[in-house]
Amino acid sequence: MKFVQTMCIALLIVQTAAQFACAQESTATSPQTSSAPAADEKQRSARETRKRLEQLACGPEGVHLAHHTEKNSQPLPEQPPDKGLIYVIRNGSMLGAAIQARFAMDGKWVGVNRVSNYFYLEASPGPHYFCTDANGRGLLSLVIEKGATYYLQQKLTMGGTDLDLIDAEKGKEYVAKYHRSTFEEKHKN
């Protein structure tokens, strides 16, 4: 009788311990088998993404910038080591020459170009959102890295306005050839 009692107790203990061990193992292995969490997220449509990017990138309506072109050659800025340097260039195409091309970063209008103009600005490392506005809006998002230089081109075409990331070689060529823009916010009375 004692033997049976002992065996029952032992079996009970072994069963409990085995369940405990199984539970420990399943907890430990769960990170390996879990699939990517973002994979289940609903993807935005292109339209929703464009709307979201416009909100992040473009400045408010009703802001106007008075533009001036520096005809004299201007010294170029030194690359800041802890920030990214961004040149915004508008090429020499005469298409839409009468239209100013505004440029906004992270929801604020920060500059404007006319034909064959450029200006530059600095940006902290991390994601930034850019918008150009002329006869339509061009959008672009970039992760800026510190110590890097970026060349963005405002391009007015028959089909609208684009904002392109162009390679450094071409960008330097344009900057050397074009004139720098200066601007100030224009207040309408």
Partner 1 sequence: MIDFADPTLSPQAFGGLLHTATVSVLLAFGLVLNVPLNTSQGSPASQKLLPFQPEETSDSVLQDSSPQSDLHASPPNTPKPALTDGTPVHLKFARAVVSSQVIAGEKVPLEVVDPVLVGNLVAISPRAFAQATVTVAQAKRSMGRGGNLELKIESVRLADGELVPLRAVKDVKGGDNQPALLTSLGTAGMMYWAASPLVFLFYVKGKSATIPAGTEITAYIAGEFPLDPSKFHTADASPQEKNAPK
Q: Is 151 helix (H, G, I), strand (E, B) or coil?
A: strand
For partner 1, the closer CB: 65 or 131 = 131
DSSP-assigned letter for residue 92: S
Using the contact rule CB under 8 A, the part of the chain among 41-49, 73-81, 96-104, 105-113 near partner 1 is 41-49
Which one, 20 or 108, has the nearer CB to partner 1? Answer: 20
3-state SS, residue 118: strand
Based on the shown chain and the rule CB under 8 A, indicate whether residue 26 belongs to the binding site for partner 1.
Answer: no
Sites for partner 1 among residues 67-126 (CB under 8 A): 126
From the list 123, 99, 129, the residue with the least C-alpha distance to 113 is: 99
Interface with partner 1 by CB under 8 A: which range of 43-51, 62-70, 85-93, 109-117? 43-51
Among 125, 142, 146, 182, binds partner 1 (CB under 8 A): 142
**Rounded Cα distance, 170 and 176, in Å:** 10
Q: How far is the CB of 89 from partner 1 (least distance, A)?
A: 16
Do the strands 149-157 and 160-166 form a parallel or antiparallel pair, or are they unpaired?
A: antiparallel
Residue from 129, 174, 178, 183 in contact with partner 1 (CB under 8 A): 129
Please, which residues bridge with residue 152 across strands? Answer: 88, 165
